[in-house]
Chain A
Amino acid sequence: MIGEREKFRHDRSAYERPTLGWRCGRAALWRRPCARGPSAAGACGGVADCTPGRQGDSWQCRRRPADGGPCAAGPGSDGACSVRHAACAPRRSLRVWRGRVTLLAAGLMLSLIAVFAGSTDMDATRLSSLDPGALSAAHAHFAGEAGCAACHNAHGRGVAGWWRAFRGVGAGDSPHRPLAAMCLDCHGFNGRESLAHNHVFEGRRASTSTDCLMCHTEHKGHNAVASTITQAQCQTCHTRKVNGFATDHPPFPAGFPHDHAQTVRFDHVSHFGKHFADPRLASQVPAGGCVGCHQVENAGRTIKPAGFDTACAGCHGDAIGRREFVLFRWPEIESNEISKDEVLEACGADGETLAELRAAVDAARRGTPPPAPKSAAAFSAVSADQPTAVTAFLLGAPADDAAQYGIPVQELARAMMRDGVDPLMQLLARLGPAASSRNLLAGLNAEQLRRAACAWAANREYEAPGQAALPGWRADALELRYAKPVHADPALRAWMETWAAAAPADGADRERFAAARKELMSPSEGPGACFKCHTANGPSDGPLALRWHHTLSDARPLTRFDHRPHIDLLGPEKTCTTCHRLAAVVSPTGAAFQPLTLDTCTSCHAPGRVRDDCNLCHVYHQDHALIKRMMSDAK
Chain B
Amino acid sequence: MRATRTNTLIVWITAAALAALGYWHEVTRRGLGDPTFVTGYMLFTLMVFLSLYNGRKKLSMISLGRVSTWLSLHVVAGFVAVVLFVTHAGTLWPQGWADRALALLFYLVTLSGVAGYALQLWLPGRLTRSGPEIIYERIPAEIAGLRDAAEQAVTDAAAQSGFDTLGRYYVQTLSWYFARPRYWLSHVFGGRYAEFWLQRRLATIRRHLSEAERSALGRLAELGAAKTAVDAQHAMQSVLKGWTLIHVPLAAALLTVATWHLILVHVYAR
Q: Knowing A108-B253, A109-B257, A233-B30 touch, does A132 contact B266 (C-beta < 8 A)?
A: no
Say whether A220 contacts B97, CB under 8 Å.
Answer: no
Which of the 9-residue segments B2-10, B128-136, B156-164, B192-200 touches chain A?
B128-136
A106 within 8 A of B: yes
> When each residue 77-97 of chain A gets 1 if its CB lies under 8 Å from chain B and 0 otherwise, what string results?
000000000000000001001
Contacts A32-B144, A106-B252, A214-B34 hold; do A154 and B267 have CB atoms under 8 A apart? Answer: yes
Partner of A127, one of B97, B99, B142: B97
Say yes or no: A105 contacts B250, CB within 8 Å.
yes
* Interface membership of A603, Cβ < 8 A: no
User: Beyond A3-B226, A16-B137, is A103–B252 a contact (Cβ under 8 Å)?
Assistant: yes
Partner of B248, one of A102, A128, A229, A236: A102
CA distance A102 to B257 in the complex (A): 14
Find residues 116-155 in chain B having any chain A CB closer than 8 Å to their own CB: 131-132, 134-138, 140-146, 148-149
- Judge if B29 is at the interface, Cβ distance under 8 Å: yes
Are A233 and B29 closer than 8 Å at their CB atoms?
A: yes
Q: A1-B226, A5-B132 are in contact. Are A132 and B268 (CB under 8 A)?
A: yes
With A31-B140, A32-B141 known as contacts, the answer to whether A101 contacts B257 (CB < 8 A) is no
Could you list 7 A-B pairs, sorted by A, with CB under 8 Å?
Answer: A13-B138, A14-B141, A106-B252, A131-B98, A132-B98, A152-B268, A166-B266
B62 at the A interface (CB under 8 A): no
Report the Cα distance A252→B208, complex, angstroms: 105
For B267, list chain A residues within 8 Å (CB). Answer: 152, 154, 162, 165-166
A23 to B137, CA, bound (A): 9
CA distance A154 to B135 in the complex (A): 56
**Is B270 a contact partner of A178 (Cβ separation < 8 A)?**
yes
State whether B250 touches A236 (Cβ < 8 A).
no
Cβ proximity bits A163-175 to B, threshold 8 Å, 1 near / 0 not: 0011010000000
Q: Which of B179, B249, B268 contacts A154 (CB 8 A)?
A: B268
A104 touches B249 (CB 8 A): yes
A215 at interface, CB cutoff 8 A: yes
Q: Give me the interface of B with A, judged by CB distance under 8 Å.
A: 29-34, 58, 94-99, 101, 131-132, 134-138, 140-146, 148-149, 179-181, 223, 226, 229-230, 241-242, 244-245, 248-250, 252-253, 255-257, 260, 263-264, 266-270
CA distance A3 to B149 in the complex (A): 14
Report the separation of the CA atoms of residues A230 and B26 in the bound assembly, to the nearest whole angstrom: 12
Contact A155-B268, Cβ < 8 Å, known A3-B226, A214-B32: yes
Contact A128 B98 (CB under 8 A): yes
Instruction: Collect the chain A residues with CB atoms within 8 Å of residue B179's CB.
Output: 30
Residues of the A chain whose Cβ atoms lie less than 8 Å from the Cβ of B146: 1-2
Q: Closest approach, in angstroms, between the C-beta of B96 and any C-beta of chain A?
A: 3
Q: In the complex, how many angstroms separate the beta carbon of A196 from the nearest chain B beta carbon?
A: 9
Q: Which residue of B lies closest to A213 (CB)?
A: B34
The 6 lowest CB-CB distance pairs between A and B, nearest first, are A133-B95, A133-B96, A27-B140, A32-B144, A105-B249, A214-B32
By CB atoms of chain A within 10 A, which of B101, B138, B141 has the most? Answer: B141
Given contacts A98-B244, A105-B252, A168-B270, contact A219 B96 (CB under 8 A): yes
A219 and B95 contact, CB distance less than 8 A: yes
Q: What's the least CB distance linking B227 to chain A, in Å?
A: 8
Residues of A within 8 A of B144 (CB): 30-33
**Which residues in B have their C-beta under 8 angstroms from that of A168?**
270
Chain A residues within 8 Å of chain B by Cβ, number: 68
Interchain CA distance A220-B89 in the complex, whole Å: 11
The answer to whether A2 touches B268, judged by C-beta atoms less than 8 angstroms apart, is no
| Interchain nearest-CB distance for B266 vs A (Å) | 5
In the complex formed, the residue of B with least CB distance to A31 is B144
Find the A residue at minimum CB distance from B222. Answer: A1
Q: Is the CB of A128 within 8 A of B97?
A: yes
Q: How far is the CB of A203 from chain B (nearest CB, A)?
A: 22
CB distance from B190 to the nearest CB of A (A): 19
Q: How far is the CA of A94 from the CA of B139 in the complex (A)?
A: 14
Closest A residue to B58 by beta carbon equals: A19
A558 interface residue, CB < 8 Å from B?
A: no
User: In whole Å, how far is B29's beta carbon from the nearest beta carbon of chain A?
Assistant: 7
Let me know if A134 is at the binding interface, CB within 8 A: yes
Residues of B with C-beta under 8 A to A103: 252
CB pair B256 A110 closer than 8 Å: yes
- Measured between alpha carbons, how far is A477 from B40 in the docked complex, in Å? 88
- Which residues from A are CB-within-8-Å of B252? 102-103, 105-106
Q: Name which residue of chain B comes closest to A210, CB basis.
A: B32
Contact of B260 among A113, A152, A179 (CB under 8 A): A113
Q: Does A28 contact B (CB under 8 A)?
A: yes
A2 and B230 contact, CB distance less than 8 A:
yes
Interface: A542 (CB within 8 A):
no
Contacting pair B99 A132 (CB below 8 A): yes
Q: Which chain A positions have C-beta within 8 A of B98?
A: 128-132
Q: Chain A nearest CB: distance from B84 CB in Å?
A: 19
A572 interface residue per 8 A CB criterion: no
Docked complex Cα distance between A13 and B149 (Å) = 17
Q: Check: A232 CB closer than 8 A to any chain B CB.
A: yes
Check A288 for interface membership: any CB of B closer than 8 A. no
> Are A132's CB and B229's CB within 8 A?
no
Q: Would A220 and B253 be within 8 Å (CB), given that A28-B140, A97-B245, A132-B268 are in contact?
A: no
Interface members, chain A 173-220 (any B CB < 8 Å): 176, 178-179, 210, 213-215, 219-220
Assess the A232–B30 pair: CB atoms within 8 A.
Answer: yes
B142 contacts which chain A residues (CB < 8 A)? 1-2
The docked-state distance in angstroms from the alpha carbon of A28 to that of B143 is 12
Q: For B268, what are the chain A residues with a Cβ–Cβ distance below 8 Å? A: 130, 132, 148, 152, 154-155, 165, 179
Please indicate the chain B residues that have their CB under 8 angstroms from the CB of A3 in the complex: 132, 226
A221 to B138, CA, bound (A): 56
Residues from chain B with a CB closer than 8 A to the CB of A589 are none
Per the bound structure, the CA–CA distance linking A593 and B199 in Å amounts to 99
| Given contact pairs A132-B264, A154-B268, A30 touches B97 in the complex (Cβ within 8 A) | no
Contact of A32 among B96, B97, B148, B245 (CB under 8 A): B148
B265 to chain A, nearest CB (A): 9
Q: Which residue of chain A has the shortest Cβ distance to B229 in the bound complex? A: A2
Chain B hits for A116, CB < 8 A: 97
Let me know if A351 is at the binding interface, CB within 8 A.
no
A221 touches B95 (CB 8 A): yes
* C-alpha spacing A33/B138, complex, angstroms: 9
- Measured between beta carbons, the chain A residues less than 8 angstroms from B95 are 132-134, 219-221, 224
With the chains together, A152 CA to B249 CA distance in Å? 33
Contacts of A109 in B (CB 8 A): 253, 256-257, 260
A367 at the interface (CB under 8 A from B): no
User: Complex formed: what's the CA distance from A219 to B245 in Å?
Assistant: 35
The residue that A16 contacts in the complex, of B33, B99, B131, B138, with Cβ under 8 A, is B138
A18 CB–B CB distance under 8 Å: yes
**Interfacial chain B residues near A129, Cβ < 8 Å:** 97-98, 101, 260
Q: Given that A23-B137, A233-B29 are known contacts, is A102 also in contact with B249, CB under 8 Å in the complex?
A: yes
The distance from the CB of B94 to the nearest CB of chain A, in whole angstroms, is: 7
Residues of the B chain whose Cβ atoms lie less than 8 Å from the Cβ of A551: none
Q: Is A235 an interface residue (CB 8 A)?
A: yes
Chain A residues within 8 Å of B180, by CB: 30
Look across to chain A and name the residue whose beta carbon is closest to the beta carbon of B234.
A30
CB neighbours (8 Å) of A130 from chain B are 98, 264, 268
Q: Nearest-CB distance from B141 to chain A (Å)?
A: 5
Interchain CB contact under 8 A, B249 and A101: yes
Task: Check if B141 sits within 8 Å of A27, measured CB to CB.
Answer: yes
Neighbouring A residues of B30 by C-beta, 8 Å: 230, 232-233, 235-236
Residues of A within 8 A of B135 (CB): 16
Inter-chain contact A1/B145, CB cutoff 8 Å: yes
- Contact A33–B140 (Cβ < 8 Å): yes
Distance A229 CA – B39 CA, assembled complex (angstroms):
20
* Distance in angstroms between the alpha carbons of A113 and B252 in the assembled complex: 14
In the assembled complex, the Cα of A165 lies from the Cα of B266 at a distance in Å of: 7
How far, in angstroms, from A200 to B37 measured CA to CA in the complex? 29
What residues on B are CB-neighbors of A124 within 8 Å?
96
Scoring A24, A127, A236 by chain B CB atoms within 10 A of each residue's CB, the highest score goes to A236
